[in-house]
Amino acid sequence: TGGIASRNRFLGEEQFTVFPAVEWKISGRRLSVRSPYISPDASCDELGFFLTGDRVKPFGEKSFSLQGRLDNITKVGGKRVNLEGIRTIIKQQSGVQDSVALALPEAGGREHRIVALVQGNCDPDEIKTALAAALEPYALPRLIKVVGRIPVNENGKYDRNAILRLLSA
């Protein structure tokens, strides 16, 4: 993770080792860092710590493993993609009531592909056109599926497993 820590996958390292000039802590479940490598324009707390969107698990005082993201940022082709931004653009289209954008792992690789499930009475081609006008090609959903209702669980949260089943059907 640039400017914070490093690991060498070639040597089989799973955990990131924090650079000597970096201080870090876990805030909630997220990684917070104070570092001379962070942009002075970054939003930091009163102690100078920057709260990342990364979920981490500590390994001693100098190492951690990434456990995923707590925000809706993912990487596609090495570039950051804001899934919430995709969802927002989709929801602005005519006939759309709700949408979910997900990053799914590509078979056999470390890359992801973006997919979207859309609730409403709308045309997927019109959604694709709107997204293409607003996003870089790498951020475009490879699949957009329109359904009558996006599944939610008993708590009213999106039911990821049911959504994945719909997207694979």
The 10s digit of each residue's pLDDT in 117-167 is 999 999 999 999 999 999 999 999 999 999 999 999 887 788 989 999 999
Q: What is the 3 state secondary structure string of 86-111?
A: HHHHHHCCCCEEEEEEEEEECCCCCC
pTM of the model: 0.63
Rounded distance between C-alpha atoms, residue 86 and residue 82, angstroms: 7
How many other CB atoms sit within 10 Å of the CB of residue 167? 17
Q: What is the pLDDT of residues 40-83, one digit of tens each?
A: 888 888 899 988 888 889 999 999 988 776 668 788 888 889 89
Where in the chain are the domains? 5-69, 73-168
**Architecture of the structural domain at 73-168:** 2-Layer Sandwich (3.30)
User: What is the CATH T-level fold of the domain 5-69, as seen in this structure?
Assistant: Luciferase; domain 3 (2.30.38)
Which of 156-165's residues contact partners 24+ apart within 8 Å by CB, and which partners?
A: 158/100, 160/102, 163/100, 163/102, 163/117, 164/102, 164/104
In three-state secondary structure terms, 125 is helix
Q: What is the pLDDT of residues 1-16, one digit of tens each?
A: 467 888 887 888 889 9
Burial 58-88 (b: 16+ CB within 10 A, else e): eeeeebbebeebeebbbebeeeebebeebbe
Instruction: Give the Cα-Cα-Cα angle 123, 156, 83 (nearest 5 degrees).
Output: 50
8 Å CB contact between 30 and 54: yes
In three-state secondary structure terms, 56 is strand
